[in-house]
């Protein structure tokens, strides 16, 4: 009975982990499209004189890819006096909400819908212009989009590929002495994924303290190590010779 209770307790503890994996794994492995919203802060300006253009760059390139954009809102938070009108463009095209008139003085939040222009992944140049002086201007964007499972899977596999290539010990393709003290080690590896072959070259440079040997294409050994090695070899030869001579009575360290 105690063993049964113990097994049931273990199952109760681990079951939530299995449930979580069952919910999250198929979205990546089986290419399920997901609706996502991303919040991006993309610029600030201390002041903007009236009737003057101000442009900031919005870089919307999510790693999971974009198959469709549902809504794009660009928020401009600023401080002004009076009720100025603020106009907005994305890549030179007026947004679906082309302008907003401030209703109060002081800090004002204006949300412009720009789905008509910002409708795919890419880099956008957001320009505003106001009929009044603005200060402490903040640029923000909320984009609701549907990811692209194929691009997401390929991007994840490429990241995984690069991880293994960076961590693996690939065979050396060639070694070159770039100069008297620099050795270049080149490793080339091929990665096959989705009927595509990727050839990636990894270069490693090593500083040779005692020079780079152009004939052998490797770093020279420490001359002190070579001296010690030769000394040990000579010592071993003398020691063996001494033992052999003493064994056969041909020589002895003893003196009469």
How do residues 13-48 score in pLDDT, each as one tens digit? 433 333 333 333 334 444 578 889 999 999 999 999
Exposure on the CB side of residue 157, measured as CA atoms within 13 A? 15
CATH of domain 35-147: 2.60.120.1200
CA distance 69 to 90: 15
pLDDT at 50 over 60: yes
Query: Is this prediction's pTM over 0.75?
Result: no
What are the sequence ranges of the domains in the chain? 35-147, 151-232
Packing angle of the helix pair 149-167, 2-29 (nearest 10 deg): 110
> Is-contact 175 183, C-beta < 8 A?
yes
b/e for 133-167, b at 16 or more Cβ within 10 A? bbeebebbbebebbbbbebbbbeeeeeebeeebee
| The pLDDT value given to residue 7 | 40
| The pLDDT value given to residue 23 | 33
pLDDT band of 145, cuts 50, 70, 90:
very high
Q: What is the DSSP letter of 53?
A: -
Number of Cβ within 10 Å of residue 237's Cβ equals 10
| The pLDDT value given to residue 205 | 87
pLDDT at 135 over 80: yes
pLDDT band of 94, cuts 50, 70, 90:
very high
pLDDT band of 8, cuts 50, 70, 90:
very low
| The pLDDT value given to residue 230 | 77
Phi, psi of 195 (to 5 degrees): 60, 20
How do residues 228-252 score in pLDDT, each as one tens digit? 777 788 888 887 877 777 776 655 5
| The pLDDT value given to residue 244 | 76
Element (H, E) at 135: strand 134-146
CA distance 220 to 207: 11
Residue 168 vs residues 25, 154, 164, 191, 206: alpha-carbon distances, Å: 27, 21, 6, 12, 18
């Amino acid at each position: 009975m105690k063993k049964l209770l113990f097994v049931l307790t273990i199952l109760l503890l681990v079951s939530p982990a299995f449930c979580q994996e069952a919910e999250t794994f198929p979205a990546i492995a089986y290419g399920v499209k997901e609706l996502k919203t991303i919040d991006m802060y993309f610029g600030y300006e201390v002041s903007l004189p009236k009737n003057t253009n101000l442009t900031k760059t919005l870089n919307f390139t999510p790693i999971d890819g974009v198959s469709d954009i549902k809504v794009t809102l660009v928020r401009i938070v600023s401080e002004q006096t009076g009720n100025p009108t603020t106009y907005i463009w994305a890549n030179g095209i007026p947004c679906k909400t082309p302008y907003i008139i401030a209703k109060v003085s002081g800090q004002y939040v204006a949300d412009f819908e720009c789905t008509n222009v910002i409708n795919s992944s890419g880099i956008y140049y957001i320009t505003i212009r106001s009929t009044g002086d603005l200060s402490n201007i903040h640029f923000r964007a909320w984009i609701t989009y549907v990811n692209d499972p194929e691009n997401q899977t390929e991007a994840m596999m490429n990241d995984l590929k690069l991880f293994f290539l960076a961590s693996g010990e690939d065979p050396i393709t060639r070694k070159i002495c770039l100069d008297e003290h620099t050795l270049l080690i080149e490793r080339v590896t091929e990665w096959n994924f989705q009927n595509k072959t990727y050839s990636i070259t990894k270069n490693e440079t090593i500083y040779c303290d005692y020079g780079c040997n152009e004939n052998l294409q490797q770093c020279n050994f420490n001359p002190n190590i070579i001296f010690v090695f030769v000394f040990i070899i000579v010592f071993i030869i003398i020691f063996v010779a001494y033992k052999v001579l003493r064994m056969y009575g041909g020589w002895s360290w003893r003196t009469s």
